């Protein structure tokens, strides 16, 4: 068996030389080479000789490499890995990424009499000292000052997390509170950036009493923490405290990304105990079935996971800076190369942007927890199998999640592919409302209702086929936030007077939101 289909490669070569011949024929005849629209090559400078030749040759070569990769006779997972890494190399070789072949950078150097070169070198040295590429003006933001500003109090804390209760924004509130479990691989304030795009504030404005888990940014002293610790002292403890403070019969719970995986696992533990305190589960861009893990799957294999288990699986820290860079490589043409060009070749500083400030605020992970997650979720995909995994001393079965669930996926998600998120509908046991939002993993979730942007799909034909669901779904303009608010309202209990004081006698306020844990930055 050959690695590549020779006939397919022959056809790729034929198409490549045909396009090259056409390209050079047009060029030599004085015609403008045809170039596909590509945001890496903006402006008229790229339409001029010799940069138009560089651009078009690069695009033709890129297409040829893609065709060769497509012809590889490999297992789908291996081909996905080959495609991912070949794309990293191809993206890195763009002429826009080099000073000598970027006309805008050359023009800026001439116009500034070399000052952009000096500024770019200074930017590079500063980023090198911090070990990461600057993607926003970090001096423009401060957690608790102009991001994460919703009013509330920390009402509980332990080694793993702080629990925040937010102040009500309505005279009456639903009797059942909402507990939010954000991802532990990032800071929680993506859900509370600024008032106009804060999901926390939106939920409070809907008359919900909001509690939120603020995961600790672990240091060496927390390097022993396990997945079970994150369940027992994280999600399950947050459920206990929320229940004790609210005194409600039940609560609604929402998890995002790995926070949704943790929440689903914790609720499965509760159901195994016969505990029915969770009335509903909302999962935002969450993967429970890792059959198709997207581009992250290209970075994981048995050897790599085993290396993590041997190095930090029994204790240690997986650095947030390394994890942050991994996520940047998934969208290199958005989160790496534009900033190389802007910061180093043109000597500029990135503009302030709250979402990118959050993106740069990396979080460490305890080695045992991280290694267990990679092995049992991404590599062996055991959570989807009933009673295959034991957590907190009990076998877990996602089919026991027999409460209503709201599952949001996003169409362009590069971390949780929407078809993978759709598989959740066949795992949970209760009535499941699946919604597909436009855009990606972050922008598709943080889509404020007040701005009425983008769209979402809902109401498709339920079943195993995600494409069939989409083909039969209804497209709606605007944000999924309002749709979710309508869905959660009948599950939230009766209306009661909002409390003036946060916490209770057992769990008095410890400090004002957003609390200390979220302010600990990874160095």
CB neighbour list of residue 520: distance below 8 Å, 6 or more residues apart:
216, 217, 219
Dihedral, 349, 354, 357, 358 alpha carbons, nearest 10? -170
At 237, list the tokens. 């403890």
Say which DSSP state 433 is in.
E
Q: Which residue has the tokens 């029994």?
A: 314
Cα-to-chain-centroid distance, residue 249: 33
Integer angstrom CA distances of residue 448 from 192, 202, 347, 453 = 11, 8, 34, 8
Summarize the chain as % helix, strand, coil (round to 5). Answer: 45, 15, 40
Residues 129-143: b if buried by 16+ CB within 10 A, e if exposed: eeebbbbbebeebeb
Q: What local confidence, expressed as pLDDT, does residue 9 receive?
A: 58
Dihedral, 283, 285, 287, 288 alpha carbons, nearest 10? 10
At 518, list the tokens. 């979220």
Cα-to-chain-centroid distance, residue 476: 23
Asked if residues 368 and 224 have their Cβ atoms less than 8 Å apart, the reply is: yes
Cα–Cα nearest to 381, from 305, 266, 292, 513 = 292
Element (H, E) at 253: strand 251-256
Say which DSSP state 274 is in.
T
- Point out which residues pair with 153 in neighbouring strands: 165, 512
How far is Cα 221 from Cα 117, in angstroms, rounded to an integer?
A: 43
3-state secondary structure of 523: coil
pTM of the model: 0.92
Q: What local confidence, expressed as pLDDT, does residue 27 receive?
A: 63
Q: What local confidence, expressed as pLDDT, does residue 452 receive?
A: 80
Asked if residues 403 and 278 have their Cβ atoms less than 8 Å apart, the reply is: yes
Backbone angles phi, psi at 401, to 5 degrees: -75, 80
Asked if residues 63 and 50 have their Cβ atoms less than 8 Å apart, the reply is: no
Residues 306-322: b if buried by 16+ CB within 10 A, e if exposed: eebbeebbeebbbbbbe
Say which DSSP state 112 is in.
T
How far is Cα 152 from Cα 450, in angstroms, rounded to an integer?
A: 22
Does residue 257 have an active-site annotation?
yes
The one catalytic residue among 184, 204, 257, 432: 257
Q: What local confidence, expressed as pLDDT, does residue 1 receive?
A: 42
How far is Cα 22 from Cα 262, in angstroms, rounded to an integer?
A: 55
Asked if residues 94 and 25 have their Cβ atoms less than 8 Å apart, the reply is: no
At 199, list the tokens. 């999901």
Cα–Cα nearest to 120, from 130, 141, 134 = 134
Give me Rg for the CA atoms of the chain. Answer: 25
How far is Cα 52 from Cα 39, in angstroms, rounded to an integer?
A: 14
- Going residue by residue through the chain, which has 523 residues, state the pLDDT in tens, using 9 for 90 and above: 455 555 555 565 667 666 666 766 666 665 655 555 788 999 889 988 889 889 988 998 998 898 888 888 888 888 889 999 999 999 999 999 999 999 999 999 999 999 999 999 999 999 998 888 999 999 999 999 999 999 999 999 999 999 999 999 999 999 999 999 999 999 999 999 999 999 999 999 999 999 999 999 999 999 999 999 999 999 999 999 999 999 999 999 999 999 999 999 999 999 999 999 999 999 999 999 999 998 888 889 999 999 999 999 999 999 998 988 888 998 999 999 999 999 999 999 999 999 999 999 989 999 999 999 999 999 999 999 999 999 999 999 999 999 999 999 999 999 999 999 999 999 999 999 999 999 999 999 999 988 888 899 999 999 989 999 999 999 999 999 999 999 999 999 999 999 989 999 999 999 999 999 999 998 6
Element (H, E) at 338: helix 337-339
What domains lie within the chain, and their CATH numbers?
6-97 (no CATH), 152-292+391-519 (3.40.50.1820)
3-state secondary structure of 84: helix
Asked if residues 105 and 94 have their Cβ atoms less than 8 Å apart, the reply is: no
- Point out which residues pair with 455 in neighbouring strands: 477
Q: Which residue has the tokens 């999640």?
A: 401
Cα–Cα nearest to 239, from 321, 176, 166 = 176
The pLDDT tens digits for 215-237 are: 999 999 999 999 999 999 999 99
How far is Cα 442 from Cα 306, in angstroms, rounded to an integer?
A: 30
Q: What local confidence, expressed as pLDDT, does residue 25 receive?
A: 66
At 380, list the tokens. 């062996």
How far is Cα 106 from Cα 114, in angstroms, rounded to an integer?
A: 9
């Amino acid at each position: 068996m050959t690695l590549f289909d020779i006939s397919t490669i022959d056809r790729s070569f034929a198409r490549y030389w045909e396009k090259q011949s056409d390209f050079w024929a047009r060029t030599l005849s004085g015609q403008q080479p045809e170039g596909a629209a590509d945001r890496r090559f903006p402006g008229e400078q790229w339409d001029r000789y010799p940069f138009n030749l560089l651009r078009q040759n690069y695009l033709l070569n890129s297409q040829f490499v893609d065709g060769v990769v497509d012809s590889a006779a490999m297992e789908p997972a291996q081909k996905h890995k080959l495609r991912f890494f070949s794309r990293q190399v191809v993206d890195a070789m763009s002429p826009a990424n080099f000073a000598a072949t970027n006309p805008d950078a050359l023009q800026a150097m001439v116009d500034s009499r070399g000052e952009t070169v000096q500024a770019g070198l200074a930017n590079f040295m500063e980023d090198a000292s911090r070990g990461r590429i600057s993607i926003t003006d970090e001096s423009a933001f401060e957690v608790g000052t102009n991001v994460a500003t919703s009013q509330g109090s920390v009402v509980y804390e332990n080694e793993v997390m702080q629990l925040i209760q937010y102040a009500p924004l309505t005279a009456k509130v639903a009797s059942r509170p909402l507990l939010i479990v954000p991802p532990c691989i990032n800071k929680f304030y993506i859900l509370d950036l600024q008032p106009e795009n804060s999901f926390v504030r939106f939920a409070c404005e809907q008359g919900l009493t909001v509690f939120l888990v603020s995961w600790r940014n672990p240091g060496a002293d927390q390097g022993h923490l396990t997945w079970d610790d994150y369940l027992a002292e994280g999600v399950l403890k947050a459920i206990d405290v929320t229940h004790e403070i609210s005194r409600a019969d039940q609560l609604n719970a929402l998890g995002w990304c790995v926070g949704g995986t943790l929440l689903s696992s914790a609720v499965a533990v509760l159901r195994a105990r016969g505990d029915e305190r969770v009335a509903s589960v909302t999962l935002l861009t969450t993967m429970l079935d890792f059959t198709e893990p997207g581009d992250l799957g290209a970075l994981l294999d048995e050897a790599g996971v085993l290396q993590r288990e041997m190095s930090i699986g029994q204790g240690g820290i997986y650095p947030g800076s390394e994890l942050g860079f991994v996520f940047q490589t998934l969208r290199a043409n958005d989160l790496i190369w534009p900033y190389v060009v802007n910061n180093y070749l043109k000597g500029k500083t990135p503009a302030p942007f709250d979402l990118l400030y959050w993106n740069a605020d990396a979080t460490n992970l305890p080695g045992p927890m991280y290694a267990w997650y990679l092995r049992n979720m991404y590599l062996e995909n055991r959570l989807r199998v009933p009673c295959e995994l034991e957590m907190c001393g009990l076998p877990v079965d996602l089919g026991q999640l027999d409460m209503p669930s709201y599952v949001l996926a996003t169409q362009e998600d590069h971390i949780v592919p929407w078809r993978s998120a759709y598989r959740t509908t066949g795992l949970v046991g209760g009535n499941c409302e699946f919604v597909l939002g436009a855009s990606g993993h972050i922008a598709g979730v943080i889509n404020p209702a007040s701005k009425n942007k983008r769209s979402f799909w809902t109401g498709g034909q339920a079943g195993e086929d995600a494409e069939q669901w989409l083909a039969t779904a209804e497209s709606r303009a605007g944000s999924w936030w309002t749709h979710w608010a309508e869905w959660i309202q009948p599950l939230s209990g009766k209306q009661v007077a909002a409390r003036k004081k946060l916490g209770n006698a057992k769990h008095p306020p410890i400090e004002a939101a957003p609390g200390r844990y979220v302010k600990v930055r990874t160095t």
